[in-house]
Amino acid sequence: MSRPPLMIDPRVARALEAGAPVVALESTIITHGMPFPQNFETALAVEAAVREGGAQPATIAILDGGLAVGLTPEDLERLARIGSAAAKASRRDVAAVTVAGGTAGTTVATTMQIAEMVGISIFATGGIGGVHRGAEDSFDISADLVELARTQVAVVCAGAKSILDIPKTLEMLETKGVPVLGYRTDDFPAFYVRSSGEPVEYRYEEPEQIAAVIKRHFVLDGSGGVVVANPIPEAHALQTKEVATIIETAVAEAAQSGISGKDVTPYLLQHLFERTDGRSLDANIALVKNNARLAAEISVALAELRRTPPR
Domain ranges of the chain: 1-120, 128-238+284-311
Question: Whole-prediction pTM value?
Answer: 0.95
pLDDT at 49: 98
Identify the CA nearest to 2 among candidates 110, 95, 73.
95
Q: Do domains 1-120 and 128-238+284-311 have the same CATH topology?
A: yes
pLDDT at 111: 98
Task: Using alpha carbons, list the distances in angstroms from residue 63 to 9, 49, 74, 80, 113.
Answer: 13, 24, 12, 13, 16
pLDDT at 262: 64
pLDDT at 291: 98
For residues 161 and 189, is the Cβ–Cβ distance under 8 A? Answer: no
pLDDT at 267: 81
Domain 128-238+284-311, CATH homologous superfamily name and number:
Indigoidine synthase domain (3.40.1790.10)
CATH of 1-120 among 1.20.140.10, 3.30.428.10, 3.50.50.60, 3.40.1790.10: 3.40.1790.10
Query: Mind giving me the DSSP string for the chain?
Result: --PPPEEE-HHHHHHHHHT--EEEE-SHIIIIIS-TTHHHHHHHHHHHHHHHTT-EEEEEEEETTEEEES--HHHHHHHHHHGGGSEEE-GGGHHHHHHTT--EEE-HHHHHHHHHHHT--EEE-S-B--BBTTHHHH--B-HHHHHHHH---EEEESBB-TTB-HHHHHHHHHHTT--EEEES-SB--BTTBS--S-B-SEEESSHHHHHHHHHHHHTSTT---EEEE-PPPGGGPPPHHHHHHHHHHHHHHHHHTT--GGGHHHHHHHHHHHHTTTHHHHHHHHHHHHHHHHHHHHHHHHHHHHHSPP-
Q: Catalytic residue numbers?
A: 26, 161
pLDDT at 310: 64
pLDDT, one tens digit for every residue, the chain (311 residues): 577 899 999 999 999 999 999 999 999 999 998 999 999 999 999 999 999 999 999 999 999 999 999 999 999 999 999 999 999 999 999 999 999 999 999 999 999 999 999 999 999 999 999 998 777 777 888 999 999 999 999 999 999 988 889 999 999 999 999 999 999 999 999 999 999 999 999 999 999 999 999 999 999 999 999 999 999 999 999 998 999 899 889 888 888 898 876 677 778 878 888 999 989 999 999 999 999 999 999 999 999 999 986 66
pLDDT at 264: 73
Q: What are phi and psi of 270, to 5 degrees?
A: -65, -40
